[in-house]
A and B are shown apart, each in its own frame.
Chain A
């Protein structure tokens, strides 16, 4: 999965930098200008190398399309509306599936972190479930839930809930124990403490998980369409592949990569807004 490996890259320089003292906004502003520029440069270099290789090595058309062909294919898909129909379908499925997975993961994460019994009961099952490649389960899901939307959502949720669960449980376990005393002193009941203090305190860990889960949800959506749908970007891939339309195949890949990046950026954006209190660098 190209998307999976390329997605975390934009954040890496941020994480590696030690937290700057408050008030170094000049550096921050500089980064805002430089970052998109670097990204653009990357794209240009990749497209350039790809185009040059295509031209010089004289690769057959049915193996590799040129950037121009892929570009015009993209424009075509956009103009006829095919792209938007498939894109809309996939994005909607990602959104719904991710939301479901996030809710299930968060609820289980709270349960696991609050109750040793639940933790003991759930952990072995979860470890096995997570170790199992979901792509191997996908045909079973189709068998059980049919070729429709249900099995697609099952696959998306099964991929995206787990990171959220782990992130929520880890974050909640790491909440400063003194907050519990504070909650007792000010008279917060356990439920109010969970929502007013603990989840807020755990939110950095939950957001880190959400970034991974969002990309996982996309993998799940595309995979599900690949297997059992007649719509969506995954379906577009299959169709292009089975009819040897290399430009369309590559155009679909480009769209999927862009969707993945956009998702990742969207979560990062929400995260930066929600966690302004935490790290001056991301503020």
Chain B
């Protein structure tokens, strides 16, 4: 069975939820949690290291360095240098990262620096004992096709996992492994790209990625005003507001609401779309949604191939009655 190393992510001093999804992915490769380890590369791993240990893994590697501050958002050299050093020392068979801002930026650079391949945006993975290699599945052509890749003899085999694909593994287990500190040298002159300013846009309400209900609008809405109605609906349902890329690019709503392959990945219990045609690039961002509800004028729209419930018609007439009835249900 392979040894699997996970690049953990730290969010607000805790292990990010997506790292628990990677533990679940790792357990698909090896049945033995002791063969799984989590590496944390950041400026302060207090708290998150204990969280990582509570996932039941064999080891937690802590790589602390001032240059790794803000590494959670990726894009810089320091985390690449840190992971390359750890991978060279520990020689795992598989290295897992998530397709977040962090993994998106760091994993390909680690792969190129080590001269090994990387499989991007995987939604399934397995270990083939016969060939002693990972076999992975990933959507390509914006989700229109699936590709199955087999790694060769290279080590490590680097796999980037799509968020919201695996249910997070248990994160409240009694620790069985140990925390190991790993020192790494990152010279001051190392990074030729320097962070000048970092702005975190705080939005009121539920985070789109964590919402259990998401209401989203697309090109079919025709302008910015209808998003107010969608926001109302989202609020009544305790959910978050999303949009297709077309609506964001048109300037009707801020890009922070964008759901899709290049945007946020969501995994709500219910996803209600209005005026969204369901292009595969959009669907790639909501493949984790349990139930999709679609309102669209075009009966041939792709969204009706993906949805569980649908209404074909004019959203301007459907939506007010729908929202009013939802309100009545919530009041009763």
Task: Please indicate whether A and B come from the same complex rather than being unrelated chains.
Answer: no
Chain B residues proximal to chain A, CB less than 8 Å: none
